[in-house]
Copies of this chain bind each other. A is one copy, B any other.
């Protein structure tokens, strides 16, 4: 955890005219001059003015890959884990490569994983969803039965309660893939849980649900009935296709805005009861020990949060001049209404530009364009949601919650940009 002594004066954001001037300078470096002058110095036979090899012969035909995959040149864009974090990989986590992604949709192959007993590999023909307990008519549904209910579509983020948890005591992991990568965002399709519960017929004393996974851990959490009757879904598709096995194929519970461990994967049953079950996942885990010894539990909604994905430690800066800063913001309580960016560790803030759809309980993409002179920077972003909640500093969070916690760290992240363009995870006092 470094504490840079020199906090630079804030560069101004470029006006539209300034952008054009700056990019004209870029054009001067790579435009006419390069076009006319550098071609002769080119070493690769594939660079202009040569005709590249891929223009000289037929490529593979259609359905050479009936289900496509990324270019071999993108082989580094993958989920990664941190081996020392957990004793086994069956109860562990991998991280979304946030620093390499664009927009707000996470490809299905890149969404982070969190398993408690490894990936259940389920034959859908031999999977059932049971709904029982305080209902008039217990149900045992095949997947085809589930698909016969009216369905809905929704783009939603999913964040692990422990995302950024390794950073509670200080800056630790160098890369937003590792500090913030336990979040992804896809379009889910499924049946509103409300319709399944109506089908089963809730008894008047029905107050809580216990969803259970068909994995070896039989992952279970208590969910209050109000959420189940609001916007909860039993989903079978993400981004248009069936759930991937590591995301709960063939069924997962979707609880928009709420912490990921409650979105039970490989969903096999939902028991209806009149009080919470006090499972291991809501007593030993997924509660936070406060400084005074009390436990903070049932912390379901994810607080507003943001992170600058690029530049960041795994995506250093290569150019001075006009620079595109890109990041993600989200809130479990609604839409993002504003994101501010600071280049000087929180002294001065300017409004970022939100681009693309700004949806309820979904990732929101923001940009901030500025001129980088080569001076050191302390990059920060701060999300505000439609309830008026403002993302706090890490210091403010620690004043309230102490240092015993793992969960719900939504403090403002700082990246220290060195004159070399390299970037470090740091904290400012």
Contact A356 B154 (CB under 8 A): yes
Closest to A36 in B: B138
Contacts of A79 in B (CB 8 A): 62-63, 66-68
- Size of chain A's interface in residues, with CB distance under 8 A? 134
Whether, in the assembled complex, A148 has its beta carbon less than 8 Å from a beta carbon of chain B, the answer is yes
Q: Please give the distance in Å from A267's CB to the nearest CB on chain B.
A: 12
Interface-located stretch among A2-10, A21-29, A221-229, A331-339: A21-29
Query: Are A118 and B239 interface neighbours, CB within 8 A?
Result: no
Chain B residues with CB under 8 Å of A92's CB are 61-62
Chain A residues 59-92 with CB under 8 Å of chain B are 59-74, 77-81, 88-90, 92
**Bitwise interface map of A from 167 to 197 toward B, beta carbon under 8 Å scored 1, else 0:** 0000000000000000000111100000100
Interface check A324, CB cutoff 8 A: yes
The reply to whether A109 and B218 contact each other, CB–CB distance below 8 Å, is: no
**A367 contacts partner chain B, Cβ-Cβ < 8 Å:** yes
Asked if A406 is an interface residue, CB under 8 A from chain B, the answer is no
Q: Are B145 and A26 in contact (CB under 8 A)?
A: yes
State the number of copies, please: 2
Smallest CB separation, A23 vs chain B (Å): 5
Given known contacts A71-B249, A216-B55, A81 and B62 CB-to-CB distance under 8 angstroms = yes
Closest beta carbon of chain B to A331's beta carbon, Å:
18
The CA-CA distance from A124 to B76 in the complex, in Å, is 14
Is A20 an interface residue, CB under 8 A from the partner?
A: yes
Q: A77-B242, A119-B59, A214-B52 are in contact. Are A102 and B30 (CB under 8 A)?
A: no
The segment from A41-49, A253-261, A343-351, A420-428 found at the interface with B is: A41-49
- Residues of B with C-beta under 8 A to A68: 79, 108-111, 244-247
| Contact across chains for A73 and B113 when beta carbons are under 8 A apart | no
Considering the chains assembled together, what is the distance between the CA atoms of A77 and B117 in angstroms?
Answer: 28
A61 and B218 CA atoms in complex are apart in Å by 16
CA separation between A23 and B61, bound complex, in Å?
A: 46
Known: A150-B367, A237-B103, A244-B71. A31 touches B138 (CB 8 A): yes
- When C-beta atoms are compared, the residue in chain B nearest to A185 turns out to be B240
Partner of A47, one of B35, B62, B126, B145: B126
- Say whether A106 faces chain B, with CB atoms less than 8 Å apart: yes
* CB–CB B55/A120 < 8 A: yes
Please report the C-alpha to C-alpha distance between residue A323 and residue B148 in the assembled complex, in whole angstroms. Answer: 6
Q: Which residues of B have CB within 8 Å of A121?
A: 54, 59-60, 71-72
Known: A19-B150, A67-B109. A94 touches B62 (CB 8 A): yes
Q: Is A278 at the interface (CB under 8 A from chain B)? A: no
Give every chain B residue within 8 A of A218 (Cβ-Cβ).
55
Which residues of A, 152-169, contact B by the 8 Å Cβ criterion?
152-155
Query: Which residues of A105-144 have CB atoms within 8 Å of chain B's CB atoms?
Result: 105-111, 113-115, 117-124, 126-128, 130, 132, 137-142, 144
Interface centre among A31, A89, A249 (most CB of B within 10 A): A31
Shortest Cβ distance from A75 into chain B, in angstroms?
8
- A27 to B136 alpha-carbon distance, docked (Å): 11
A contact residues vs B (CB 8 Å cutoff): 19-20, 23-24, 26-27, 30-32, 34-35, 38, 44, 46-48, 52, 54-74, 77-81, 88-90, 92-94, 100-111, 113-115, 117-124, 126-128, 130, 132, 137-142, 144-145, 147-155, 186-189, 195, 198-200, 214-216, 218, 236-237, 239-247, 249-250, 266, 268, 318-319, 322-324, 326, 355-357, 359, 365, 367, 369
The 8 closest A-B pairs by CB, nearest first: A61-B89, A59-B118, A153-B356, A102-B189, A66-B78, A46-B126, A68-B109, A102-B237
Q: Identify 9 new A-B residue pairs, CB closer than 8 A, beyond the known A102-B241, A153-B355.
A: A26-B199, A30-B145, A66-B79, A66-B94, A69-B244, A70-B249, A103-B153, A151-B367, A152-B356
Q: Show 13 residue pairs from A and B whose CB-CB distance is below 8 angstroms, ordered by the A residue.
A: A48-B140, A52-B122, A59-B119, A59-B216, A62-B81, A63-B81, A71-B243, A71-B245, A103-B240, A106-B240, A110-B241, A150-B367, A187-B356
